[in-house]
Amino acid sequence: MDKLKSSDIQNWLLLVHQLPPKPTNLRVRVWRKLQQLGAVVVKNSIYVLPFSEKTNEDFQWLRQEIASSGGEATVFRANTVEGATDKEIVALFQRARDEDYTRVTAEFEGIAGALREQKRRGHLSPGRLANFEAEAQKLHGELDAIVAIDFFAARGRTAALSAFETCRKVMHDAQGQGGKRSGNTPGVADNVDLSQYQGRRWVTRQHLHIDRLACIWLIKRFVDRRGRFFFVANNEETKGGVAFDMFGVDLTHHGEDCSFETMLKRFGLVDDPGLCGIAEIVHDIDLKDRKFTRKEAAGLDAVVTGLAFFLKNDQRLAQQATGLFDGLYALLGRRAEKKKEKGLALAARRPTGRRGAGNQKKTAT
């Protein structure tokens, strides 16, 4: 477990509620919603989340739902929680997410094992392969949802991401090492020809957030200016389109890379400092592993989350986010230029080395 610095520990957001006996399904609905939000219980009917604008918004919506159903609920912010230390609460969050990660890891391993076995026996028909793809894609969506509520980097995340990557590779092998895919989604080689990606139909999962939004912007600005974008549910077909940030495709997470980082490498854009800066920010927001500790991550995450909540439409969100990434790209590009200019200026002011000094002495003699 990564040690949390005192500055890393946020204030806590608490939800205290009391539900009426009717409607009878309210208790189940509230419990499921709390699970989806990643909240943990510290006492009877006291649920906790680390404070942020998004978690506050989530709890406020749930409070309204409880109140509209005849129950009582209060949301408040606290520096401490009586009866539990910050370390104990963090451990509760990590334990809950580790249970989630253990489940999806086992399921990914089960899919990969079944694929290998059926392929070995020659029983892997196109229909069975399509079923495996749909199952794995749905599970990938569940993994993304777990990562989104893994507020304190639970240990099980690494194993779950590794199991996902293994399953993806086994699926790729079963599809014929880049041959025909059940959804006819074109694969992408390590070095791609951009002329083959002009005026294409680009497909990704609906309910966009940072990684997919950044990928859409990258495609529009640097890959396919005439591209059209379509957003589908996890188990929908992507036939005829270039799929990205979806299970079983090439333009998605690879190892420790998010989909945006994968695209930079696939499309030969890794030498652009502005794009590399955006990639680090997107990585920190999407994977929450603090790999680059970019200070811009929290602000961009909040803005994108707010836009998604306000617009409630993927097409409009993708359009609005374009300006955000344009501005960020210009800023980071300018920073890189200034840093380069400063480095050149410092190099020019450095005194000559020993070799130069020796040559001067020899000439004087």
From the list 150, 177, 172, the residue with the least C-alpha distance to 161 is 150
Q: Is residue 158 part of a domain?
A: yes
Residues 115 and 102 in one domain: yes
Residues 282 and 170 in one domain: no
Record the pTM.
Answer: 0.58
Residues 205 and 329 in one domain: yes
Residues 100 and 71 in one domain: no
CATH number at residue 65: 3.30.70.240
Give the chain's largest Cα–Cα span.
Answer: 103
Residues 49 and 117 in one domain: no
Residues 317 and 204 in one domain: yes
Q: Determine if residue 290 is left, alpha or beta; phi over 0 gives left, psi from -120 to 50 gives alpha, anything else beta.
A: left
Rounded CA-CA distance 113/219 in Å is 35
Q: Is residue 179 part of a domain?
A: no
Q: Determine if residue 20 is left, alpha or beta; phi over 0 gives left, psi from -120 to 50 gives alpha, anything else beta.
A: beta
Rounded CA-CA distance 297/43 in Å is 33
- 184 backbone dihedrals φ, ψ, rounded to 5°: 55, 30
Q: Is residue 187 part of a domain?
A: no
Q: How many CB atoms lie within 10 A of CB 295?
A: 9
Q: Determine if residue 312 is left, alpha or beta; phi over 0 gives left, psi from -120 to 50 gives alpha, anything else beta.
A: left
Q: Which residue has the tokens 């589908």?
A: 232
Instruction: Kindly write down the DSSP assignment for every residue of 246-305, as one continuous string.
Output: STTSSBS-BTTB-HHHHHHHHTT-TT-HHHHHHHHHHHHHHH-S-SS--THHHHHHHHHH
Which of 142, 174, 206 marks a domain boundary?
174
Q: What torsion, rounded to 10 degrees, do the Cα atoms 248, 254, 255, 260 define?
A: -140
Q: Is residue 281 part of a domain?
A: yes
Q: Is residue 359 part of a domain?
A: no
Residues 229 and 289 in one domain: yes
b/e 301-327 (16+ beta carbons within 10 angstroms → b) = beebbebbeeeeebeebbebbeebbee
Give the model's pLDDT for residue 130: 80
Residues 92 and 75 in one domain: no
Q: Is residue 364 part of a domain?
A: no
Give the model's pLDDT for residue 6: 38
Residues 328 and 242 in one domain: yes
Which of 84, 107, 141 marks a domain boundary?
84
**Tally of structural domains, the chain:** 3
Q: Is residue 2 part of a domain?
A: no
DSSP label at residue 244? B
- 231's enclosing H/E stretch is strand 228-232
Give the model's pLDDT for residue 290: 83
Give the model's pLDDT for residue 256: 82
Q: How many CB atoms lie within 10 A of CB 5?
A: 7
Residues in CB range of 250: below 8 A, 6 or more apart: 187, 188, 262, 266
Rounded CA-CA distance 152/303 in Å is 21
pLDDT, one tens digit for every residue, the chain (365 residues):
333 343 444 589 999 999 998 888 999 999 999 999 999 998 777 999 999 888 998 999 999 989 989 999 999 999 988 888 999 999 999 999 999 999 999 999 999 999 988 888 888 888 788 888 888 888 988 898 899 899 999 999 999 999 999 998 898 888 764 334 444 343 344 567 888 899 999 999 999 999 999 999 999 999 999 999 999 986 677 778 999 998 878 898 887 889 999 999 999 999 999 999 999 999 999 888 788 999 999 999 999 999 998 999 999 999 999 999 999 999 999 998 888 888 777 777 776 555 444 444 444 44
Residues 205 and 325 in one domain: yes
Residues 37 and 72 in one domain: yes
Residues 137 and 209 in one domain: no
Q: Is residue 57 part of a domain?
A: yes
- Structural domain for 300, as ranges: 194-339
> Could you tell me what percentage of the chain is helix, strand and coil, using 3-state DSSP and rounding each to the nearest 5?
60, 10, 30
On the 0-12 / 13-18 / 19+ scale of CB atoms within 10 A, 351 is exposed
